Structure 1
Amino acid sequence: MIARLRRNVLRWTRVLPVLAVVLLALVWGRSLPVVVVVLVSCFLAGSVLAAVHHAEVIAHRVGEPFGSLVLAVAVTIIEVALIVTLMADGGDKSASLARDTVFAAVMITCNGIVGLCLLVGALKSGVAHFNAEGTAAELATVATLAGLSLVLPTFTTTTPGPWFSTPQLIFAAVAALVLYGIFVTTQTVRHRDYFLPVTAAGEVIDTEDHLDPPSRKVALTSLGLLALALIAVVGLAKAVSPTIESGVAAAGLPASVVGIVIALLVLLPETIAAVRAAYRDRVQTSLNLGLGSAMASIGLTIPAVAVASIWLAGPLYLGLGATHMVLLALTVVAGTLTVIPGRATPLQGGVHLTLLAAYIVLSVSP
């Protein structure tokens, strides 16, 4: 019975991403009736689950922290491509799209994914344990990237308004790439043990001994299907975005709420994978996914939009407003105090989830 169930899971996780991409090609750029929106939403949910499955197959093959890095970078690259495409089509009204999307990703990952995983891990084991050294390095990198890319533009004086001058934008883009490159090297080569799960006694868990790792062929197949599933997730989310926009407008909510909804959809694969890792007492893997996604979102998006600004008309708003800067500061402070002990109770998870709730409430009602 178990073997048959596994075969059925393998079968649908291989077929559905292909069908979802075909559906995406059929509906892209078209006005969709309600029935088709429901169908697209079903395939979107299935693509999320398929992406999580294939990400876990790859993670089991390559081990941590490479597995979480693959999923975070794959999602971010596709997300960046979507942002640049929307900016190219949106004109002046998309001037703040990169800023809003990146900040939404930071708040969702650093407070939503991290808070939820700490809560799940702590409720299951009493106390959630993780490696303070590796997590602190991730948080410090995220805070630095966010400060350089999203806070400083509000205070620079070379150009009026919340955007960088050309030399400043070049510096921010190069700094983001360099910092992200140094972090990936640190995470995967020089200090890989800092980013591996730990036991309550502080022992590093470097192997998963309950199952044999998949073959190279299976892992490569899952890598290709993961890419298809993520393309389907982002593309189908974009396809249903007009319906979301209509619903948001009908409810009288600010347009920025649309970005939050789409960001939540795009980040669903990482969220599910992170929560499942936390439930297996692999909280460090969950934090790698959450903070690594925030870091990749800034480290890859800012250089991409800097290059795109060469041919895009209009300003590129990057600086945050006062309310969002306060939320970012609270997130960094709360994250620092959470990371220092190397363990967390449900309270720390609740703190981060409260910050995410505050961000959503203030986006709905500024």
Structure 2
Amino acid sequence: MSATQSQPSTRAPGPARRNPWAQEWFLAVTLITVLIFAVFGDVILPLVQLPIGLAGLLCVLFFVVMGTAMGVVRHAEAIAERLGEPFGTLVLTLSITGIEVCSITAVMMHGENNPDLVRDTLFSVIMIVLGGMVGTALLFGALRHKEQEFNLQSANAYLGVIVPLAVFTLILPDVTIATAGPTLSTMQKVMVGAMSTGLFVVFLAIQTGRHRSYFSTPGDEIEGAAEGAASQSSLLRHLLLLLVYIVPVVYLVEQLAYPIDYVIETLHAPQALGGVLMAILVATPEAVGGVKSALSNRLQRSINIFLGSVLATIGLTVPVMFVVASFLGLDLNLGLPPTQLVLLITMLAICIITFSSGRTNLLQGAVHLLMFMAFVLLLFQS
């Protein structure tokens, strides 16, 4: 054999490059669903009066909205890996909260005046996230790792803002006498809205500025920096797709309001069911990332996701809904009934105890899940 002839290569073949667009197949399902409802909505939506049509519309719309929201989470998590903590989970939290705010606004503009929708959604998010999601993450994390550690300053910062915002938003309207019923006067709304916005802005300042280290661990910072250096070129693609996924979710949630309203008004389901379904839609995708982080022994990221979600929900939703309700001339009932009031106070107290030591275990996860199960039961047996 001539010396100039090339020898057969013995290098092991590398892994085939995956097409980054192959994962976006569900976006086609979403856009087709949007097109169908935009063109044939007047024919499809009246089917809620038939049992099969009602079940079909609920299942299809719920499935498509949930799948699209999972796409939002996937791209938000990709951005999170490139930005590192706490900016990563901040992007994820703000993305999901943005969906929630836009969805509630779309349902309120749908025409049916449900004055309890905002209150029920806020309360449901608090109970589902702090009860069900935190409990699941702590339970599965403890089963795999026995005990898990987190940065105590971060939990204190989150709860230090969540507790007063929850009290002023969901408890104060029950005890004020300036207006009749569980509502706030105009000046009280201005005070609560300004306080929610101001505290959220101050929190963002410490989370992304001088106290950024509270919300991250050394491992998270190194990993995020390495990911960011490795794949900055795809950041713009994830940002654009994040927006592309968010927009159709709002439209589809507005269509979902038709069968939900029919179930509540015609079939006499619990009034809070609309808020619960709204909370499940916006909170479930975050649960996936939070539980996965706990299983990977990255409890700090789980706390950033869950507590950050509750904080952003109250801090952003309340002032926006005040403005929207004022423009639309809608009433907002914010004060909780007695049963839900007891659940809220107990849930906040349990969170303060759980996140007071910097370590979590199996028992704490069980307690949070117990509170979530009580919330589900009392939804139908208040």
- Could you say whether these structures have the same fold, taking a TM-score greater than 0.5 normalized by the shorter chain as the test? yes
The whole-number CA distance in structure 2 between the counterparts of 1:139 and 1:364 is: 29
Three-state SS of the structure 1 residue aligned to 2:111 is helix
Q: How far apart are residue 313 of structure 1 and its match? A: 2.4
Q: Which amino acid aligns with 2:135?
A: G
1:208 corresponds to which residue?
A: 223
User: CA RMSD, aligned part only?
Assistant: 2.7
1:319 corresponds to which of 314, 330, 335:
335
1:206-234 CA-to-partner distances (Å, cap 9, x unmatched) read 22179643533311211221233334445
Q: How far apart are residue 335 of structure 1 and its match? A: 0.5
1:63 corresponds to which residue?
A: 84
Contact 1:17 1:225 in 2 (8 A): no
**Structure 2 CA distance for partners of 1:248 and 1:308, relative to 1, 3 Å:** closer
Larger radius of gyration: 2
Three-state SS of the structure 2 residue aligned to 1:260 is helix
The whole-number CA distance in structure 2 between the counterparts of 1:70 and 1:347 is: 31
1:246-293 CA-to-partner distances (Å, cap 9, x unmatched) read 567797631322321232122122111111111111111111111111
Output aligned runs, 1:236-315, within 5 Å.
236-243=252-259, 253-315=269-331
Structure 1: which 5+ residue stretches go unaligned? 198-202
1:14 corresponds to which residue?
A: 24
1:179 corresponds to which residue?
A: 199
Output aligned runs, 1:162-201, within 5 Å.
162-197=182-217
1:200 corresponds to which residue?
A: none
Three-state SS of the structure 2 residue aligned to 1:310 is helix
The whole-number CA distance in structure 2 between the counterparts of 1:163 and 1:210 is: 47
Output aligned runs, 1:6-155, within 5 Å.
7=18, 10-17=20-27, 19-27=29-37, 30=42, 31=45, 33=53, 39-91=60-112, 93-155=113-175
Q: How far apart are residue 238 of structure 1 and its match? A: 4.4
After alignment, is 69-78 or 244-253 more displaced? 244-253
Structure 2: which 5+ residue stretches go unaligned? 1-12, 48-52
After alignment, is 312-321 or 165-174 more displaced? 312-321
TM-score normalised according to structure 2 size: 0.85
1:44-94 CA-to-partner distances (Å, cap 9, x unmatched) read 443244233212210111101111111111111221122122223335x41
The whole-number CA distance in structure 2 between the counterparts of 1:252 and 1:3 is: 56
Contact 1:238 1:262 in 2 (8 A): no
After alignment, is 15-24 or 107-116 more displaced? 15-24
Q: Which amino acid aligns with 1:7?
A: R
After alignment, is 137-146 or 222-231 more displaced? 222-231
1:332 corresponds to which residue?
A: 348
Three-state SS of the structure 2 residue aligned to 1:89 is coil
Three-state SS of the structure 2 residue aligned to 1:281 is coil
1:222 corresponds to which of 232, 238, 250:
238
The whole-number CA distance in structure 2 between the counterparts of 1:25 and 1:143 is: 42
The whole-number CA distance in structure 2 between the counterparts of 1:212 and 1:365 is: 49
Q: Which amino acid aligns with 1:171?
A: M
After alignment, is 24-33 or 128-137 more displaced? 24-33
The whole-number CA distance in structure 2 between the counterparts of 1:309 and 1:251 is: 27
**Structure 2 CA distance for partners of 1:234 and 1:340, relative to 1, 3 Å:** same
Q: Which amino acid aligns with 2:37?
A: V
Q: Report the count of equivalent residues.
A: 358
Q: How far apart are residue 111 of structure 1 and its match? A: 1.5
Three-state SS of the structure 2 residue aligned to 1:267 is helix
Contact 2:143 2:362 in 1 (8 A): yes
The whole-number CA distance in structure 2 between the counterparts of 1:120 and 1:317 is: 37
The whole-number CA distance in structure 2 between the counterparts of 1:70 and 1:252 is: 38
The whole-number CA distance in structure 2 between the counterparts of 1:271 and 1:154 is: 31
Contact 2:117 2:274 in 1 (8 A): no
**Structure 2 CA distance for partners of 1:18 and 1:75, relative to 1, 3 Å:** farther
- Percent identity between the two aligned chains: 34
**Structure 2 CA distance for partners of 1:357 and 1:248, relative to 1, 3 Å:** farther
Three-state SS of the structure 2 residue aligned to 1:309 is helix
